[in-house]
Amino acid sequence: MRPGAAGLGVVEVGQKSELQKMAAGERYRGGDPEVVESCRQAGLWMMRFNAMMGATSAERRVVLAERLASVGDDVVVRPPFYVDHGSFITLEEGVFINLGCTILDVCPVSIGAYTRIGPGVQILTPEHPRDPVERRQDIEYGRPVSIGANVWLGGGAIVVPGVTIGDDAIIGAGAVVTRDVPAGATMVGSPARPR
């Protein structure tokens, strides 16, 4: 046996922890102590980051790099910024995220270079079983979201679990992206459709 992450719980050798299952997009128990602790740590981190409204982008970038999986050069994230865990988010070079963005990252979220994200955008990876019995048993899972390079997500857009958005795409303000978006496409509405 070996200790779980952050010294929580014990996991059999060769067996995945609930946090590892979550990151892999497999079914996991949302109330598992390691998963709950990861969310708690993210909450403490958000309190620090969101108090940095008057800080420079460079100062905020240092704090982003403490929690996020990867933060490229010249990334700008304007607080407030909300995450589930933070540790599954990759921001490539030159990404700009405006006020009030929420990224629920129970599995990987990657955002390509020079992508622009408007205020109030939601990027969601969590899923819940359709079976009510499984939902009552605290079973959850997620599907990764991938956003290409040089994408523009307008204010208030929502990206649902499992979506891939190709390079150079434009997502209109308030659009709800429920399926993959080809490179260079412009999508508007709810559900988002080609313009």
Residue boundaries of the structural domains of the chain: 17-194
Radius of gyration of the chain (CA): 17
Query: 13: pLDDT confidence band, cut at 50, 70 and 90?
Result: low
Contact (CB, 8 A) for 30 and 138:
yes
* For residue 59, pLDDT beyond 80: yes
* For residue 132, pLDDT beyond 60: yes
Copy the structure tokens of residue 31.
């109330």
Cα separation, 4 vs 36, in Å, equals 13
What pLDDT score does 7 carry? Answer: 40
**Tens-digit pLDDT profile for residues 143-188:** 999 999 999 999 999 999 999 999 999 999 999 999 999 999 999 9
What pLDDT score does 6 carry? Answer: 41
Hey, what's the torsion of the CAs at 143, 145, 146, 147, to 10 degrees? Answer: 160
User: Positive or negative, the Cα torsion across 38, 5, 59, 78?
Assistant: negative
User: Among all residues, which ones are annotated catalytic?
Assistant: 128
Cα separation, 69 vs 85, in Å, equals 10
Copy the structure tokens of residue 87.
């540790």
End-to-end CA distance of the chain: 55
Instruction: Name the nearest CA neighbour of 30 among 157, 138, 174, 149.
Output: 138
Average pLDDT over residues 58-80: 97
Q: Given this structure, which CATH class describes domain 17-194?
A: mainly beta
What pLDDT score does 5 carry? Answer: 39
Hey, what's the torsion of the CAs at 86, 33, 30, 38, to 10 degrees? Answer: 0
**Tens-digit pLDDT profile for residues 73-89:** 999 999 999 999 999 99
Per the listing, tokens 């795409």 go with 169
Cα separation, 171 vs 169, in Å, equals 7
What pLDDT score does 4 carry? Answer: 40
pTM, to two decimals: 0.91
What pLDDT score does 12 carry? Answer: 60
